[in-house]
Amino acid sequence: MTGLDGTHVRVLVVGAGFAGLGAAIRMRRSGEDSFLVLEQADEVGGTWRDNTYPGVACDVPSHLYSFSFAPKSDWKRRFAGGEEIRQYLRSCAEEVAEHIRCGTRLLSAEWRQGPRSWKVTTNAGTITAGALVLASGRFSRPALPTLPGLVTFPGRVCHTARWDPRIVPEGARIGVVGSGASAVQAVPALVGRGAQVTVFQRSAPWILPKHDAAYGTAEQSVFAADDDVRRDHRAEIFDELDSAFEARVLGSTAHTELRRRAQDHLRRSIPAGPVREALTPADEVGCRRVLLSDDFYPAVASGAAAVEPSAPLAVQGRAVRAASGRTYELDALVFATGFDASRPAIASSIVGRGGETLAEHWADGMTSYGSTSVSGFPNCIILGGPHAALGHNSAVAMLEAQFDQLLSALASVPAGGVWEVRAEAEKAYTAMIDERAASTAWVSPGCRSWYRHGGTGRVTLLWPGTAQEYRRRFGVFHPEQHTIEQVALGSSC
């Protein structure tokens, strides 16, 4: 690894997943060449590099879960598997390979007034940058519950985001802790490989049919030969998904219809009785992410996957005791318990104006203006941060709007200039988010999810509107919401 001491770039990007790679490609194509992308891992890919568990796939259609400016015509399935997405990102990275530094971890980033505004310390040396782009993602820190006696368990133990390839499903008794998106993919895949699975479920999820299917060679050929057909296909998917935001609004006809569709899927798949009762959600539909699966319910109905409707409480050797009092003898234990998505993992290492860290600024939950900018942190853009996730559409659509905002900011503020969002703009944006979120299922009575801050209960991750609206309003830099000053390029750093 080449040392980076003394390096200066106009833009430093932290993270080489979807967000970081997309930003790099868009900057390169816009003519901006003074930038670096730091990636702490040995290869690019973000969450699709880290998650290799059986059954891993996307729940957003492939042609929309990819860059509009880097299309892929030969997706194998309507919903791509994890490995295909990983290979897609690796191919995208080739365009900006000379700008990427893998194996380079950010240790700290400190704002300093001047043309070399951000001083960034890494394990490969100290870099300065005019602007800092945080693209480290929200799914980088696996959440693991504390389980007394886990150290006594003799079998394999892992989180889905850190899959242990030494787990051999065939003939194994495997406990899967959790019932979210990763669990409903891993459980049927493990059953399909011969495992007997016990699902430890604190709360049942709402599940819709996925309707996954392979793209035939004829379809792939048409997409490759006719860009208009491929673009129209992508646009049709986008419009269909974006219209589903209305189903997250409490009291709407669309919300009632969403509940009915999910209930019908459960009733068609699981016979009446205790198992169906265990799989019937207690919270409002849309409170948490509505899952898509064609094979989770069949795996349970087959008897190869059993549902324990409570969390594991303690472990003694191979015996895992649930809160219900039931005990299960297991050979492997897999935690599908999600991530700590309350803020980027590096927030405590980002030091803004006056010495405040980003983590301190967000002590009561993430806030921003435009889901990208935070007062007190000049020349800093956060990709995929506060209120930039969607519960109904592709996160890539939001990222592409944020790439536009980044390029707009770089074009609006000359090199060496300083832009900083006004505190009142951040406050007003946050108040708007809170007001609009109040009418959604995300804040329905009894709703607890990773969408919300654990202390305040505020929705801090989701944008309460359509992706189309976000692009229209925030796909451009708004100078009137910022203070902007030009710093002489000869100023001392």
User: pLDDT tens digits for 298-312?
Assistant: 999 999 999 999 999
Q: And the tokens for 423?
A: 């505190």
Report the pLDDT value the prediction gives residue 400, as an integer from 0 to 100: 98
CA–CA separation, 171 vs 197, rounded Å?
10
Look at residues 373, 473, 351, 375 and name the one whose alpha carbon lies nearest to residue 424.
375
Q: At a CB cut-off of 8 Å and minimum separation 6, what does 33 contact?
A: none
3-state secondary structure of 157: strand
pLDDT for residue 199 is more than 70: yes
Determine the average pLDDT of the residues in 253-266.
98
CATH architecture of 150-213+220-335: 3-Layer(bba) Sandwich (3.50)
Task: Give CA 271 to chain center in angstroms.
Answer: 34
Q: Which residues make beta-bridge pairs with 121?
A: 108, 126
Q: Range with the lowest mean pLDDT among 88-102, 284-298, 332-346, 477-491?
A: 477-491
CA–CA separation, 457 vs 365, rounded Å?
9
pLDDT for residue 250 is more than 80: yes
Determine the average pLDDT of the residues in 207-231.
97
Report the pLDDT value the prediction gives residue 182, as an integer from 0 to 100: 97
pLDDT for residue 492 is more than 50: no
- pLDDT over 90, % of the chain: 91
pLDDT for residue 270 is more than 80: yes
Q: Which CATH number is 7-140+341-486 given?
A: 3.50.50.60
Query: What does DSSP say about strands 196-200 and 173-177: parallel, antiparallel, or unpaired?
Result: parallel
Task: Give CA 463 to chain center in angstroms.
Answer: 13
Report the pLDDT value the prediction gives residue 71, as an integer from 0 to 100: 97
pLDDT for residue 16 is more than 80: yes
316-329 confidence digits (pLDDT tens): 999 999 999 999 99
Report the pLDDT value the prediction gives residue 488, as an integer from 0 to 100: 52
Query: What does DSSP say about strands 305-308 and 327-329: parallel, antiparallel, or unpaired?
Result: unpaired
CA–CA separation, 63 vs 73, rounded Å?
8
Write down the domain spans for the chain.
Answer: 7-140+341-486, 150-213+220-335
- pLDDT over 70, % of the chain: 98
Residues in the chain: 493
Let me know: does 295 contact 212? Beta carbons within 8 Å.
no
CA–CA separation, 333 vs 153, rounded Å?
9
CA–CA separation, 253 vs 261, rounded Å?
12
pLDDT for residue 416 is more than 90: no
Q: What are phi and psi for residue 3, nearest 5 degrees?
A: -65, 150
Look at residues 50, 27, 51, 32 and name the one whose alpha carbon lies nearest to residue 40.
50
CA–CA separation, 50 vs 179, rounded Å?
20
pLDDT for residue 462 is more than 60: yes
pLDDT for residue 493 is more than 80: no
Report the pLDDT value the prediction gives residue 139, as an integer from 0 to 100: 74
Greatest mean pLDDT range, 55-69, 101-115, 331-345: 55-69
Q: Range with the lowest mean pLDDT among 97-101, 330-334, 336-340?
A: 336-340
CA–CA separation, 203 vs 200, rounded Å?
9
pLDDT for residue 341 is more than 80: no
> Using 50, 70 and 90 to split pLDDT, how confident is the model at 43?
very high
CA distance to 138, 202, 203, per residue, from 180 (Å): 16, 10, 9
CA–CA separation, 189 vs 90, rounded Å?
25
pLDDT for residue 1 is more than 50: no
CA–CA separation, 477 vs 66, rounded Å?
24
Report the pLDDT value the prediction gives residue 296, as an integer from 0 to 100: 98
53-86 confidence digits (pLDDT tens): 999 999 999 999 999 999 999 999 999 999 999 9
Q: Range with the lowest mean pLDDT among 139-153, 160-174, 364-378, 379-393?
A: 139-153
Q: And the tokens for 405?
A: 């905002």
pLDDT for residue 177 is more than 90: yes
> Using 50, 70 and 90 to split pLDDT, how confident is the model at 159?
very high
Report the pLDDT value the prediction gives residue 116, as an integer from 0 to 100: 75
CA–CA separation, 258 vs 179, rounded Å?
19
pLDDT for residue 132 is more than 80: yes
pLDDT for residue 460 is more than 60: yes
Q: At a CB cut-off of 8 Å and minimum separation 6, what does 125 contact?
A: 3, 4, 5, 6, 7
Determine the average pLDDT of the residues in 138-148.
85
Query: CA-based Rg of the chain, rounded to a whole angstrom?
Result: 23
Q: Range with the lowest mean pLDDT among 1-10, 79-88, 169-178?
A: 1-10
Task: Give CA 262 to chain center in angstroms.
Answer: 23
pTM over 0.85: yes
Report the pLDDT value the prediction gives residue 455, as an integer from 0 to 100: 87
CA–CA separation, 25 vs 214, rounded Å?
29
pLDDT for residue 279 is more than 60: yes
CA–CA separation, 151 vs 148, rounded Å?
8
Look at residues 56, 62, 47 and name the one whose alpha carbon lies nearest to residue 16.
47
Determine the average pLDDT of the residues in 458-471.
97
